[in-house]
Structure 1
Amino acid sequence: MSRLFRWLMRLLGTVLLFAGLSVAVIYYLASRSLPDYNMNYTTRDVSAPVEIVRNNASVPHIFAENDADAFFGLGFVHAQDRLWQMILMRRTAQGRLSELFGERTVPVDELLRRLDLYNLAQQSVLVQDAPTRKALEAYSAGVNAWLARINNDALGRGAPEFFLFSKEIAPWQPADSLALVKLMALQLSPHLEEEVLRARLSLVLSEDRLRDILPDAPGTGVAALPDYAALFPTAVPSNESLRIAENWLSPFKRRAFAGASNAWAAAPERSAAGSTLLANDPHLGFTAPAIWYLARLELSDGGVIGGTIPGIPSVLTGRSDYLGWGVTASYLDDLDVFVEKLNPKNPEEYETPHGFKVFQTSQSVIRVKDGPDIPLTLRWTENGPVLPPSHYDLGSITPPGHVASISWTVLSPNDTTMSSAISLMRAKTVSDGIAAGERFIAPSLNLTLVDGDTIALKTIGAVPSRAARHQSKGRLPSPGWRAVNRWQGRAGYRVNPEFVAPEGGLLGNTNNKLIDRPFPFHISYVWGDTQRVQRWQHLMQNREVHTRDSFIEAQLDTVSFSARALLPLVAADLWFTGEAAADGTTERVRQRALTLLAEWNGEMNEHLPEPLIYAAWMRALQDRLIRDELGPLAQEYNHVEPLFIERVYRDVDGASKWCDVIQSAPIETCADAARQSLDDALLWIEENHGGTLEYLRWGDLHQATQDHEVLGQVPLLSWFVNIRQSTSGGDNTLMRGRTSGSGRNPFLNVHGAGFRGVYDFADPDSSVFVISTGQSGHPLSRHYDDLGELWRRGEYIPMSLDPDLARAAAAGITWLRPER
């Protein structure tokens, strides 16, 4: 027996030894790709020494004697810290994910090939101005210099992920950066899904009820402060729901996540220090690492500092010594869906205003890891590319004998967006910044600008020119063979909304409605916010003058206007009614929940139970209101629509009809729906989270899910690469934490401000920044998540353009020297 025991111990020791050695080898190989920030490199691609100073948060300050060398340095540091992220984004834009991940990503690749983004990006290189082409070439050379260093010094393939997937990395090219800009545009437009959803709903709802569930944003717009079945009778409702948009690694986001952001500015007369203020926090889906990367470049026109996106040679939100700029999603209607009629005698032809025409076609092949190649025939009409019926359920609204195509500004082969972004970094005044925006094509953004004296907001991005007699006004898929529905070029830049030096001294945007103009000058019927802007107006007008700290306070505000507005309406007949119920009964739990909510101020604080009770109640209420009318279409509404609930409980145009359950004999009232849905919500909380209501924490469910897009799905590895944090905020707070809306926990925080910046031009070097993870994309780096806790607590780091301050706080200095 003792002999057996000794042998078992020896076997166990051997297994542990091999396990330990395996871990050591894996760690060694993975750690080889950790960059050393104190190094000297020689390269033939710079004309003079480039100094890269890293501070203790690993933010690079790039000092060069000319602009080309500065952009070379930016490409070098992007590749050092985010190589895997850059290559993955490039593969996505190229439609080449399946070469790494197999058949799981074939639908994504197919759709990207049909849009032809990468070929369009290659064509767009030729239309950039000379300084931009030079910047793109220098940036690409910087990326490739780091790739060469990886190969020469055996630096662990550049990132740990390349040990699991293909290590072959093609050199970076200027078109790659332009393709990434187009890829970002895919994440910021809700209009394709909005048109299809409106078409599907119009087949099952009356016009009044359609107006309830898809309400127009009310009011005339805020910036500065002081029917489908008739078009296509053969279309029928469909329950089919094939979701490329929810596919793994897909850049196509549901309309609930189609881009959001906050930006606001104060003129000198509304600033305590007598100069301008600017705050900006763009919202995108959370990932680890964050999409944003902080950097400073010293250009010939002066220093520029702020948020960049690895792969794109531009500071997209930030400041120089002269100008600050912030961006928000504009929701400009830059996309139309067309239903194209096929020739019954020849399905290779489609109808145009001048008769049938042959599709423009090309061939492509998707190479699939561990699977056969998939040949594709790509088809384009005069309106744009033909899309598969599975994308956003296009097949459900496309009659037999028809296909769907789209016109979209992002599909331009003459896209000068990058030239616009490079020009913006060189602008010195608000008027210069507005002029730089004229060449911006897509994605459309609201650009908030401040110089030392003036504030302004300008919508940038191409505005399609539509005919006043357009059959659907761009709100529904329309017949592509009718000339009246087709785009007529691009509207002039003057059509883009513009607000300069408003009399009240304050302006901003929370993706809210900016203007109220008649079609076709309307800009959009779909806006991203009707709620946050209410809270923003209150905070801005509540003070005569503002400071950097008051702007930070607004950026971090977690009070929900929606909660304050909806609870008194929904619970009007429930507050403090009835006698005290016995402990353990449904009535008693309901009374306790109502008591908590009655004393709550609407703050979505992570430590409180009330935000969870409110969120679960409104979610259950909306589902109860729409489930019987919409059936399977109810799954399209997995986020609470405050305007819809308000219309129902105010009975606007008879909207209270939603409260009655059609299939039941009794006539239910809205008070019945409120009471029953509260019971449903409390039951869900009890079954899934248990415990006493008073001890629930919103933050336990509302965790920021900053997950690695690939390794985050791998058991065990996910514990090391995913960053989960308890967070405050919610769907409709200024510190926005958009919930997932689906799955076992529909309240996970999956979309929010990955970057925050606040700039005070009375003291520019007091400007502060933060991103939601860390600068590095390497899970073994201490900079992988070091900024994440600051971000969660609402803290920032200072970023100065003073070279002496940067060098005094240096945690590492890299030199790039020209070869002799």
Structure 2
Amino acid sequence: MLTLFRWFLRLTLGLIALSAAALLLVWYFAMRSVPDYAASYVVPGIGAEIEIVRSTENVPHIFAKSDSDAFFALGLAHAQDRLFQMTVLRRAAQGRLAEIYGERALAADDLARRIGMARAARASVAAQSDQARAALQAYADGVNRWIEIVNRDALGRGAPEFFLFPDEIAYWQPADSLAILKLYGAASSRQIPAEVLRARLSLAEPERGQDLVSRPGEAAMPAYGTLFPAKHIQPVASAAPEWPLDLAGYLTPFSGVGASAFAADGKRTAAGMPLLASDPQAALTMPSLWYLARLQLGSGDVIGATIPGVPAVLSGRSARLAWGFVPAQIDDADIHIEEVQPGDSNRYRGVNGWQDFTARTETLRVRGAPDRQITLRETENGPLLSPASLGLGSVTPAGHAAALSWTGLAPDDRSYSALLGVMTASDRRAGFAAAQDWAVPAAHLALADREGIEERLIGLAPERAPDHPTAGRMPVPGWIAGNRWQGVTRLDAPDETQHGLGFATGALGSNSAGLGFDGDSTLRRDRLQRLLAGREVHSRDSLIETQLDIVSPAARALLPLVGADLWFTGEPAARGTPERQRQDALRLLAEWDGAMNEHLPEPLIYAAWMAALQDRLVRDELGPLADELTALRPAFIERVFRNRGGAAIWCDIRQSAAVETCSTIARQSLDAAILDLTARYGPDVTSWRWGDAHEAIQTHPALGPTPRLGWIVNLRQSLSGGDHTLARAPLLGQGSTPFRPTQGAGYRGVYDLADPDSSVFIIASGQSGHPFSRHYDDLAVKWRRGEYVTMSLDPDLARAAAVGVTRLIPSEPR
């Protein structure tokens, strides 16, 4: 027995030693992938020595003798800090996420392959300007040099995440950068889900369904079922991901990422020179989608926000010009329903009869599962999408398929050339001239130089026939000539939202150009207009204050209307009773200014009340479809409570014998919301806090969903703001955490042309994507608090604040 015990003890100690050794080995290789910012590397492909000066915040300041060398160094710096993120973005655009994430990413890969973003990107390389092609190639060379250095020096594969995935890291190609830019363009549109929702509302409630999505004065649409007479529409469930796939690939097509930009003319600023603010949004991840960088170019130094994988500053400034791109949310995509020939799935009905699909087969590699073969078909209207994608199966008649028409499928997309031209322009005129090549997404381009500010709508928009039955708002039969696009038009017009105030007010209202169909966006745009017009003279700080504004115009508009018959009614109730809770909640809301402050109970009461109210209004008419109305629709609630067009009929519960009034529904909804909040946060209404529910989880796309590791690599932060505030943080709207923010302004910048070096910048994480780096999350707390960092174009200041200088030495002179 003693001998057995000794052997058991030895085995146990041996296993502990082996486990410790394995952990140390993992730690050793993981730490080797943290880059040394003070190293020097001899590399081929550059013309002269390059310096990458890292500031205190780990922002690379790139000093190079040529533009080619500057973009080479940017590629290397991106790869040093964000190589895993870059490869994930590339995979998302190419439809290759399942190779690392397994079957849960199959739906995302299927959609990306069918859209064909990577294929369109490869075709558009040749369409770029000579300057753009040179920049793309130099950038790719820089990325690949770092991959070679990692392999040569055994630097932990470049990122610890790569230890989890067996695939080799493919070298970077110029088309990869264009594919990521294409993915950003697709993610900027929300039109396809909006079309599907309108059609489903029409099917579920033909008479009143459009109340939820239409704008005042908008022309009525035909009932969706009448577009396909005698056709049976059998709903097909969409594939439900195990975890949010916008985090898996950082960007999901047609998810509707947004931005805002606004500016003050020199006549309205304290220093007499223009100011411009910009804050593009995306999913809240670790690391952020955005990365700060500064480049020394022949046309002048530029500094601002980049997307790792794309050699360009999408929002930033030079010494003479500041710019911001804002997705315009125009209706840039349509679904055309194609009839498949009975008995022959390779043919479809065209304008002049049956014709063949254009078809090809591709293979989806799936980690841990057999490969999948998919057949990709295209029609004259565009590629066919799976019925499991974007809810399309729920609006597609039997024997039919859904084809995507999207402005981003053009093989001669020169958006990158336009972007490069804007960031190297000397003034607004040159910037807008370069922007003529911009295609996708259609955007508001806000420019400011020392002479003034201007904003224009740029990009491509579809041309539809005047008698189009739905004006692009719902899917239509693809075999009818009048339903098809008549072509595309290039947008180039001054924005009409300036109203002579001396302010360019970028696309906070996604329908500000009159080309989209988002009825609630005007709330945020009007709030912005009031803040900008409310000051005679603006400063950098006033634009920061506007950018961080957390007052909800929706709350200010809805609460007096919804609670009109509830304020201060009835005798005071005893403490601890539901009636007293309701009275306390109403008292708080009556004195509230609408600020969605994380430390207050009022935003939580308001959000829960409005969510319960909207659900109670539509549940009996829409049934299970009500579960998918995750976003609050203030325009709908306002229409109902003002009884516009008889919309108050939504307040009556069809299944009950009594006729409910809107006041009754408002009270019942408030009681239901209080009951739910009491179960979550206790009975004391005054102790509730918006930040307890409105907690952002910035998820690491690879390690975040893993138990235990998620607590290390993910970041949880309570945020102020909400769906309709200028500092926008839209809500998840479903599940056990309905008030969790899903997106945010992952980058904020305010550019001062009077004192350019006083311009400020911030991103929602740190610069590094390495979980063991001290720069992994060092900017996140500043971002949450509404703080910024300054970045100078002065080389001496940049070097004086350096925490490391990477030197790239040419292996041979060119």
Within a 5 Å distance, the mapping from 1:237-252 to structure 2 comes to 240-243=236-239, 248-250=244-246
Instruction: Give the match for residue 791 of structure 1.
Output: 783
Instruction: Give the match for residue 696 of structure 1.
Output: 688
Q: Is the 8 A contact 1:49 1:815 kept in 2?
A: yes
Instruction: Give the match for residue 668 of structure 2.
Output: 676
Q: Distance in 1 between matches of 2:613 and 2:659?
A: 17
Instruction: Give the match for residue 90 of structure 2.
Output: 90
Aligned-partner residue type, residue 505 of structure 1: G
State the shift of 1:692 in Å: 1.8
Matched, 1:617 2:609: yes
Q: Is the 8 A contact 1:532 1:561 kept in 2?
A: yes
Q: Is the 8 A contact 1:257 1:751 kept in 2?
A: no
Aligned-partner residue type, residue 731 of structure 1: D
Instruction: Give the match for residue 818 of structure 1.
Output: 810
Q: Is the 8 A contact 1:304 1:321 kept in 2?
A: yes
Aligned-partner residue type, residue 564 of structure 1: R
The 1:492/1:187 distance shift into structure 2, 3 A limit, reads: closer
The 1:434/1:478 distance shift into structure 2, 3 A limit, reads: same
Deviations 1:563-606 (A, max 9, x none): 11111111111111011112222111111111111121111111
Q: Secondary structure at the residue paired with 2:114?
A: helix
Q: Distance in 2 between matches of 1:280 and 1:179?
A: 24
Aligned-partner residue type, residue 224 of structure 2: Y
Instruction: Give the match for residue 41 of structure 2.
Output: 41
Q: Secondary structure at the residue paired with 1:132?
A: helix
Instruction: Give the match for residue 223 of structure 1.
Output: none
The 1:364/1:8 distance shift into structure 2, 3 A limit, reads: closer
Q: Secondary structure at the residue paired with 1:176?
A: helix
Deviations 1:616-637 (A, max 9, x none): 1111111111100111111221
The 1:9/1:674 distance shift into structure 2, 3 A limit, reads: farther
Matched, 1:662 2:661: no
Aligned-partner residue type, residue 432 of structure 1: A
Q: Is the 8 A contact 2:201 2:210 kept in 1?
A: no
Instruction: Give the match for residue 587 of structure 1.
Output: 579
The counterpart of 1:233, out of the listed 229, 232, 239, is 229
State the shift of 1:255 in Å: 10
Q: Is the 8 A contact 1:186 1:252 kept in 2?
A: no
Within a 5 Å distance, the mapping from 1:19-168 to structure 2 comes to 19-168=19-168
Instruction: Give the match for residue 222 of structure 1.
Output: none
| Residue segments in structure 1 that go unaligned for 5+ positions in a row | 220-226, 517-521
Q: Distance in 2 between matches of 1:231 and 1:465?
A: 20
The 1:2/1:543 distance shift into structure 2, 3 A limit, reads: farther
Within a 5 Å distance, the mapping from 1:194-273 to structure 2 comes to 194-207=194-207, 209-216=208-215, 227-235=223-231, 240-243=236-239, 248-250=244-246, 257-273=255-271
Q: Distance in 1 between matches of 2:291 and 2:145?
A: 20
* % identical equivalent positions: 51
Instruction: Give the match for residue 296 of structure 1.
Output: 294
Q: Distance in 1 between matches of 2:87 and 2:558?
A: 45
State the shift of 1:272 in Å: 1.1
Q: Is the 8 A contact 1:157 1:167 kept in 2?
A: no
Instruction: Give the match for residue 595 of structure 2.
Output: 603
State the shift of 1:308 in Å: 0.1
Deviations 1:528-584 (A, max 9, x none): 712222321221111101000000011111111111111111111111101111222
Within a 5 Å distance, the mapping from 1:632-671 to structure 2 comes to 632-671=624-663
State the shift of 1:651 in Å: 1.1
Q: Is the 8 A contact 2:234 2:397 kept in 1?
A: no
State the shift of 1:509 in Å: 2.5
Output the TM-score relative to the length of structure 1.
0.95
The 1:804/1:528 distance shift into structure 2, 3 A limit, reads: farther
Q: Secondary structure at the residue paired with 1:302?
A: coil
The 1:811/1:691 distance shift into structure 2, 3 A limit, reads: farther
Aligned-partner residue type, residue 212 of structure 2: I
Instruction: Give the match for residue 511 of structure 1.
Output: 508
State the shift of 1:497 in Å: 5.1
Q: Is the 8 A contact 1:217 1:526 kept in 2?
A: no
Matched, 1:402 2:400: yes
Q: Is the 8 A contact 1:267 1:505 kept in 2?
A: yes
The counterpart of 1:498, out of the listed 472, 485, 495, is 495
Alignment root-mean-square deviation, CA: 2.3
Q: Distance in 2 between matches of 1:543 and 1:70?
A: 41
Q: Is the 8 A contact 2:505 2:529 kept in 1?
A: no
Q: Is the 8 A contact 1:245 1:254 kept in 2?
A: no
State the shift of 1:437 in Å: 1.5
The 1:75/1:415 distance shift into structure 2, 3 A limit, reads: same
Aligned-partner residue type, residue 64 of structure 1: A
Q: Secondary structure at the residue paired with 1:464?
A: strand
Q: Is the 8 A contact 1:456 1:500 kept in 2?
A: no
Aligned-partner residue type, residue 409 of structure 2: L
Q: Distance in 2 between matches of 1:96 and 1:513?
A: 31
Q: Is the 8 A contact 1:349 1:356 kept in 2?
A: yes
Q: Is the 8 A contact 2:107 2:389 kept in 1?
A: no
The counterpart of 2:767, out of the listed 770, 775, 782, is 775
Aligned-partner residue type, residue 122 of structure 1: R
Q: Is the 8 A contact 1:457 1:500 kept in 2?
A: no
The 1:500/1:682 distance shift into structure 2, 3 A limit, reads: closer
Q: Secondary structure at the residue paired with 2:346?
A: strand
Q: Is the 8 A contact 1:292 1:755 kept in 2?
A: yes
Instruction: Give the match for residue 416 of structure 1.
Output: 414
Q: Secondary structure at the residue paired with 2:260?
A: strand
Deviations 1:36-68 (A, max 9, x none): 000111111101111110001000000111100
Q: Distance in 1 between matches of 2:399 and 2:17?
A: 66
Q: Distance in 1 between matches of 2:569 and 2:232?
A: 46
Deviates more, 1:429-438 or 1:273-282: 429-438
Deviates more, 1:643-652 or 1:78-87: 643-652
Deviates more, 1:60-69 or 1:398-407: 398-407
Deviations 1:693-716 (A, max 9, x none): 211111111112211012100001
State the shift of 1:610 in Å: 1.0
Q: Distance in 2 between matches of 1:629 and 1:348?
A: 39
Q: Is the 8 A contact 1:203 1:236 kept in 2?
A: no
Q: Distance in 2 between matches of 1:583 and 1:370?
A: 58
The counterpart of 2:754, out of the listed 755, 759, 762, is 762
Deviations 1:703-744 (A, max 9, x none): 122110121000010011001111111111111111111121
The counterpart of 1:313, out of the listed 306, 311, 314, is 311
Q: Distance in 2 between matches of 1:262 and 1:594?
A: 33
Instruction: Give the match for residue 446 of structure 2.
Output: 448
The 1:655/1:255 distance shift into structure 2, 3 A limit, reads: farther
The 1:493/1:564 distance shift into structure 2, 3 A limit, reads: closer
Aligned-partner residue type, residue 358 of structure 2: Q
Deviations 1:228-250 (A, max 9, x none): 22211235565543146886535
Q: Is the 8 A contact 1:327 1:448 kept in 2?
A: yes
Deviations 1:79-98 (A, max 9, x none): 00000001111112111122
State the shift of 1:819 in Å: 0.7
The counterpart of 2:355, out of the listed 336, 339, 357, is 357
Q: Secondary structure at the residue paired with 2:293?
A: strand
| Residue segments in structure 2 that go unaligned for 5+ positions in a row | none
Q: Distance in 1 between matches of 2:151 and 2:19?
A: 29
Q: Secondary structure at the residue paired with 2:673?
A: helix
Deviations 1:287-325 (A, max 9, x none): 100000000001000001000000000000001111101
Q: Distance in 2 between matches of 1:253 and 1:812?
A: 32
Instruction: Give the match for residue 189 of structure 1.
Output: 189
Instruction: Give the match for residue 370 of structure 2.
Output: 372
